[in-house]
């Protein structure tokens, strides 16, 4: 595998289909709704055609408990309940909702009734449901800066005013929000995405006090909370919530498989009922077979054992990752600290590097990395950095991936014209 030479001018990357003439293109532009344009204004991460070495966004699918999942699925089919293969009757409590409530009480300190649990098709689906139910055009949403652009675009598509909640060393800071009439706030507290900051207790209490005073509803995405390696999991905002102003969003995609598209929300019962009604009308529900299998996975203790095993493997991989960075890439990146989650944030030592060219070279080499700038509303980070994954690659793949990454960075640096003194 090698990296071919790439011209430095990468700005004009056209995505126009050459088979479409100008008339078709103009017709299509008129056809697109404002919401559709808002949701698709920025390119998503393109999956590499390579091996996805160092992928920063995915777990290692090879660790999925295939044998146990297959066995449980067979048992569910053998029991043969027609309701399992039909659309779910949403007003009826499901086994998965019961198991999620029990699991969160132990693992995250959240005490909730199964009626407060709503299963979803993942975090993006959960946020879309809340936006549809709660937002009118012109409502203000406080959103992390930097933060996840795909989630930001959901709120923008409902004609919301986005008020930045700037991230500092303690995570998103509510005191940085200037507007008073905030209706919703979106935060990642367990591990801020993308800055890898875990919100300390003091900041969480400040966040809850701000919500109480402003009347805002906080949407807490518990992203990557299951992957803490050198410290015990910290209490989420929802576990400290005394006023019912926090909606807790979780998912099984990063711990099991992305393609399962299985997640959940913990929210006040009245709002939970409205979400179920909206799901019934517009989306239907998570497939019953998937729900039943995940529920049994939790109920029988397989899920807890799987998480324990995966954490140990990922922690070992991160140690190897950081060791190679220190020994072989110390001239390229500042050495990051041991971090929660499935990637490390690596700041370039050369802050004049063409990060777009580096990213393109990485994509061509099959590296699933992403630049920090992608998560800023402006599209540019004050400090250039690369988000480099360690979880999806085994140790030999990490070694190969980092060799290729160093090659991509050094070739991009060599290609850059020298600055005049």
Q: What is the pLDDT along the chain (421 residues), one digit of tens a residue?
A: 444 454 444 444 444 444 556 666 777 677 878 777 777 765 544 544 445 799 999 999 999 999 999 999 998 888 766 666 666 665 667 889 999 999 999 999 999 999 999 999 999 999 999 999 999 999 999 999 999 999 999 999 999 999 999 999 999 999 999 878 999 999 998 899 999 999 999 999 999 999 999 999 999 999 888 898 887 777 899 999 999 999 999 999 989 998 888 999 999 999 999 999 898 888 777 788 888 999 999 999 999 999 999 999 999 999 999 999 999 999 999 999 999 999 999 999 999 999 999 999 999 999 999 999 999 999 999 999 999 999 999 999 999 999 999 999 999 876 665 555 4
Whether residue 105 is contained in a domain is answered as yes
Task: State the pLDDT at residue 19.
Answer: 52
Number of domains comprising the chain: 2
Tell me the backbone φ, ψ of residue 342, rounded to 5 degrees.
Answer: -125, 10
Among 256, 285, 314, identify where a domain stops. 285
Cis peptide before 146 (omega within 30 of 0): yes
Closest C-alpha among 370, 374, 352, 361 to residue 409: 361
Determine, yes or no, domain membership for 343. yes
In the β-sheet with 171-172, what is the strand arrangement from edge to edge? 117-120, 263-266, 246-251, 217-221, 182-187, 140-145, 161-168, 171-172
Same domain? 221 vs 348? no
Cβ atoms of 204 and 240 within 8 Å: the answer is: yes
Residues 376 and 404 in one domain: yes
Taking the whole predicted model, whether its pTM rises above 0.85 is answered as: yes
Q: Which residues contact 378 (CB under 8 A, 6 or more apart)?
A: none
Residues 333, 269 within the same domain: no
Last residue of a domain, one of 237, 254, 285: 285
CATH code of the domain in which 270 resides:
3.40.640.10
pLDDT for the residue 230: 81
- Go through 38-49 and write b for each residue having 16 or more CB atoms within 10 A of its CB, e for each that does not: beeeeeebeebe
Structure confidence at residue 129 (pLDDT): 94
Contact assessment for residue 346 and residue 358, using Cβ atoms and an 8 Å cutoff: no
Q: How far is CA 275 from CA 84, 123, 288, 409, in A?
A: 21, 14, 18, 47
At residue 300, the pLDDT reads 96
Residues 311 and 280 in one domain: no
Helices and strands: H and E segment counts in the chain: 13, 11
Domain presence at residue 82: no
pLDDT at res. 288: 83
Let me know if residue 227 belongs to a domain: yes
Q: What is the CATH number of the domain that holds 411?
A: 3.90.1150.10
Give the pLDDT confidence score for residue 286 in this predicted structure. 76
The domain boundary, picked from 250, 285, 320, lies at 285
The pLDDT of residue 45: 47
- C-alpha 117: how far from its chain's center? 20
Report phi then psi at 79, rounded to 5. -65, -30
Whether residues 228 and 366 share a domain: the answer is no
Check whether residue 262 and residue 335 sit in a common domain: no
Note whether residue 95 is domain-resident.
yes
Pair 321, 402: CB distance under 8 Å = yes
For residues 188 and 156, membership in a common domain is answered with yes
Task: Establish if 26 belongs to a structural domain.
Answer: no
Domain, as residue range, for 235:
89-285
Q: In terms of Cα–Cα distance, which of 86, 73, 152 is closest to 284?
A: 86
Does 247 share its domain with 155? yes
Same domain, 114 and 249: yes
Same domain, 245 and 98: yes
At 51 the pLDDT is 58
Q: What is the pLDDT of residue 27?
A: 72
Quick one: CA dihedral 46, 380, 227, 115, positive or negative? negative
Strands (E), 39-181: 117-120, 140-145, 161-168, 171-172
Query: Please, where are the H alpha helices in 110-200?
Result: 123-134, 149-157
**394: nearest Cα among 67, 54, 49:** 54
**Same-domain check for residues 216 and 122:** yes
Tell me, yes or no, whether 261 and 314 share the same domain: no
Supply the pLDDT for residue 224: 83
Residue 141 placed within a domain: yes
Give the residues across from 248 on adjacent strands: 220, 266
- Give a yes or no: residue 223 inside a domain: yes
Distance, in Å, from the CA atom of 42 to the CA atom of 39, rounded to the nearest integer, reads: 8
């Amino acid at each position: 595998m090698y990296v071919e030479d790439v011209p430095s001018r990468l700005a004009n990357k056209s995505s126009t289909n050459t088979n479409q003439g100008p008339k078709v293109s103009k017709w299509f532009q008129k056809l697109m709704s404002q919401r559709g344009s808002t949701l698709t204004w920025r390119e998503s991460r393109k999956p590499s055609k390579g091996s996805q070495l160092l992928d920063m966004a995915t777990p290692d699918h090879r660790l999925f408990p295939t044998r146990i999942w297959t066995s449980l699925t067979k048992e569910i089919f053998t029991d043969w309940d027609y309701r399992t293969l039909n659309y779910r009757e949403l007003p009826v409590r499901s086994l998965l909702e019961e198991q999620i409530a029990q699991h969160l009480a132990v693992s995250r300190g959240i005490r909730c009734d199964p009626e407060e649990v709503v299963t979803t098709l993942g975090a993006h689906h959960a946020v879309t449901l809340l936006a549809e139910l709660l937002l009118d055009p012109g409502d203000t949403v406080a959103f992390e800066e930097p933060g996840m652009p795909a989630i930001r675009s959901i709120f923008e598509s409902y004609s919301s005013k986005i008020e930045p909640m700037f991230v500092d060393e303690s995570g998103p800071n509510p005191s940085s929000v200037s507007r008073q009439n905030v209706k919703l706030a979106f935060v990642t507290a367990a591990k801020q995405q993308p800055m890898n900051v875990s919100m300390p207790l003091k900041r969480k209490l400040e966040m809850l006090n701000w919500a109480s005073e402003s009347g805002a509803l906080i949407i807490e995405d518990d992203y990557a909370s299951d992957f803490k390696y050198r410290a015990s999991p910290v209490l989420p905002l929802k576990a400290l919530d005394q006023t019912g102003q926090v909606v807790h969003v979780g998912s099984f995609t990063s711990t099991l498989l992305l393609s399962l598209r299985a997640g959940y929300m913990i929210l006040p019962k009245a709002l939970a009922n409205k979400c179920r009604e909206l799901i019934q009308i517009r989306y239907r529900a998570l497939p019953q077979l998937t729900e039943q299998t995940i529920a049994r996975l939790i109920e029988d203790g397989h899920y807890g054992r799987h998480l324990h095993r995966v954490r140990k493997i990922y922690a070992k991989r991160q140690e190897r990752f950081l060791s190679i960075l220190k020994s072989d890439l110390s001239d390229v990146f500042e050495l990051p600290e041991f971090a929660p989650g499935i990637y490390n944030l690596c700041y370039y030592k050369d802050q004049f590097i063409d990060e777009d060219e580096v990213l393109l070279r990485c994509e061509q080499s099959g590296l699933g990395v992403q630049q920090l700038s992608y998560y800023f509303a402006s599209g540019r980070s004050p400090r250039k950095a690369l988000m480099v994954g360690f979880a999806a690659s085994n140790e030999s793949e990490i070694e190969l991936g980092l060799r290729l990454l160093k090659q991509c960075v050094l070739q991009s640096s060599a290609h850059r014209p020298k600055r005049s003194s």
